[in-house]
Structure 1
Amino acid sequence: MRAAIFDAPFSIRMAEAPKPQPRMGEVLVRVKAAGLCAGDLYIYTGKNPYVTYPRIGCHEIAGVVEAYGPDTAGPAIGTRVVVDPFIGCGHCYPCRIGKRNCCANLTIVGVHREGGFADFVTAPVRNLNVVPETLTDFEAAFAEPVAIGVQGCRRGMVTAEDNLLVLGAGPIGLAIVEVARAAGAKVYATDLSAERLSTAADLGAIPVAGGAGLLERVREITNGEGMPVVMEATGAAPAMEQTIDLVTAGGRIVILGLVKKGQGITFPGLDFTRKEVTILGSRASVDCFPEALALLATGKIHYPKIASSFALGEAPDVFQKLAENPMALHKAVFIPED
């Protein structure tokens, strides 16, 4: 089969690779659309601390059921599906309490095992989600990032009564914007990039200029109170630390961004009690794919309309382009050639 293979940082090539064989409990999926996310770009630039090379990346996968492993059954052959890429061990404490996204022995498709930048990929059958008939394969590939937005909004208990500030208007920030708006919340977004902020506005967020003076602008908007919910999706330590100033007393902070392993984040200790603020982490998603697919199918998510489609064979050029300028594309989705 054809695959885009990461050999080392800043090295990706198109090559023939062995067609994977599903084991017991697994399914073979013929890939129809494969989304490129920041995690894949981190593999390309050598910033992903978990990946080993060589590796076929991609964890945003839409396709059709091709075959099953021995003594394994699931949706009928030919059924259109998306793959939840987070595979829990099922035995550790997080898995036992339903948080397999935080599994102590976590395996991620496209990071720890071969992913979707190929003609075929294997995954546990329990990680399949059937795609609604109204969605194209291209649109279905957005289920994973939208599911991250669903998870973040669930963690922040976002409702139609909330005013919400999203820090960062990249791919995950935009997913949060749309999921929160679908819940009826009033959504503000901020970013250092005027272009990204404009995109967030196109998706229904109220833009707030980032950088110096952000706190003053938020206080003006909220009559000095601060935002009830602040969602951080930048991965920048200063933005994470500023959330405590931006949130109102009694409010909720949800951190979705990632910093380098070992990097500390500092909050003023008094504000934990003075504001009685709730600070939550949010990692990927758990049981959020059905809601994400439903939101996409009902037309409440417009993000796919601003994405770009490429043939899988263009992957080396696209990764080089994004490494030089991460804002060159809002989103890229690869389509394997027939």
Structure 2
Amino acid sequence: MRAAVLTTPGRLAVVDDWPDPVCRPDHVIVAIRDVGICGTDLGLFDGSRTVPHLPWVIGHEAHGRIVEVGAGIPPSRIGERVAIEPNYPCQACAPCQNGAPALCLRRGSPALNLPGMLAERVEVPARHAWTLPAGLADQDAVCVEPLAVALAAVRRAALTGTASCLVVGAGALGLLLVHALRSAGHPVAVLEPHPERRARAVALGAAHAPDGTEFPVAFETSGTAAGGEAALARLAPQGRLVLVGVGSDPIPLDTRIAVRRGLTVLGSMIYDHPRDYRATIDAVARDSITPGIVVAASYPLEQAQEAFTAASSVPGKTVITLAEGGAA
């Protein structure tokens, strides 16, 4: 089958002889339609994050159709159009037993420690292949995974009423947070130095964050030290900082500010299985959120190299489209 294979940092080769997956019990084979590119993928691509070995298939934000089922899975699932939840908790370690599977100590993660999704067919645990609402647009389906990250962060923030929020960083995740918060009735301001990304956030209903304005809640999505410092500086007394972005530079924490203002800093790691993916599928089924509005560029599989090379400068989500697994 065809796949986009990382052969060396910065280089993807599209091959047509990649081994087909084997369907084990309680698993399904999904023919992939689209794969979104996120910051994790870019880190694997450029070598700033390591892969188990080379060559290696990356990509984890995907949707498609079930074409085969393993033992224990009803054959009636064949043909289902599904979004893949690409983090598989062990369900046995302490975090899993304590209701925090996002922090699983033995989590299986496509692209990171399991083969990724930039292939025509992939094997997925059946419980992680979520049936999509009929008629959902492909661009919405491919953004279910990053939307789940955004909605989990909103849930963990424990917002009350119509609290105003600050979103720092307007990459695809920041844009989805703006969209989700505005859909829930929260006023949102954004801090983003990139003018095109900032303009997209404003188009989704965010305001520019005025100088000196303080917020009860801030979401940091850039994963940068500058972003973290800016978010902390804008928090009101008893404010809450929700860290969603992951970067390589530590964020300096001025304890004088944190202590004297009574601030709370909360890390929000992906999403908890199955509650957050179920909530995300329900949200797109109700048409209350249309995550595909953050898609800004699309490439065919044959241009995977070009897609990854350009993705970091695109003001929104970049998607790679494969031939199989088309929309309803």
Structures share a fold, TM > 0.5? yes
- Aligned Cα root-mean-square deviation (Å): 1.9
Partner of 1:84: 85
1:249: how far off?
Answer: 0.6
C-alpha change, 1:89 and 1:302, in structure 2 (3 Å) is closer
Partner of 2:307: 318
1:75: how far off?
Answer: 6.1
CA distance in 2, matches of 1:257, 1:297: 27
Partner of 1:98: 99
C-alpha change, 1:130 and 1:17, in structure 2 (3 Å) is same
Is 1:236 aligned to 2:224, yes or no? yes
Q: Mind listing any 5+ residue stretches in structure 2 that lack a counterpart? A: none
CA contact (8 A) 1:165 1:187 kept: yes
Partner of 1:186: 187
Corresponding pairs, count: 320
C-alpha change, 1:146 and 1:51, in structure 2 (3 Å) is farther
CA distance in 2, matches of 1:302, 1:67: 29
Partner of 2:8: 8
CA distance in 2, matches of 1:116, 1:334: 11
C-alpha change, 1:320 and 1:327, in structure 2 (3 Å) is closer
Q: 1:1-338 maps to which residues of 2 (within 5 A)?
A: 1-15=1-15, 16-49=17-50, 51-73=52-74, 76-208=77-209, 217-219=210-212, 222=213, 226-260=214-248, 263-286=249-272, 287-307=275-295, 308-322=297-311, 326-328=312-314, 330-338=316-324
Q: Given residue 306 of structure 2, which amino acid in structure 1 is its aligned partner?
A: D
CA distance in 2, matches of 1:328, 1:272: 35
Which structure has more RCO (C-alpha within 8 Å, separation ≥ 6)? Answer: 2
- Higher deviation after alignment, 134-143 or 289-298: 289-298
C-alpha change, 1:189 and 1:242, in structure 2 (3 Å) is closer
Q: Secondary structure at the match of 1:104?
A: coil
1:106: how far off?
Answer: 1.8
1:298: how far off?
Answer: 3.7
Q: Mind listing any 5+ residue stretches in structure 1 that lack a counterpart? A: 209-216
CA contact (8 A) 2:166 2:217 kept: yes
CA contact (8 A) 2:35 2:61 kept: yes
CA distance in 1, matches of 2:254, 2:107: 32
Partner of 1:211: none
CA distance in 2, matches of 1:314, 1:130: 29
1:296: how far off?
Answer: 2.9
CA distance in 2, matches of 1:205, 1:294: 24
CA contact (8 A) 1:164 1:231 kept: yes
CA distance in 1, matches of 2:33, 2:233: 44
Q: Given residue 227 of structure 2, which amino acid in structure 1 is its aligned partner?
A: A
TM-score (norm: length of structure 2): 0.91
Q: Secondary structure at the match of 1:87?
A: coil
TM-score (norm: length of structure 1): 0.89
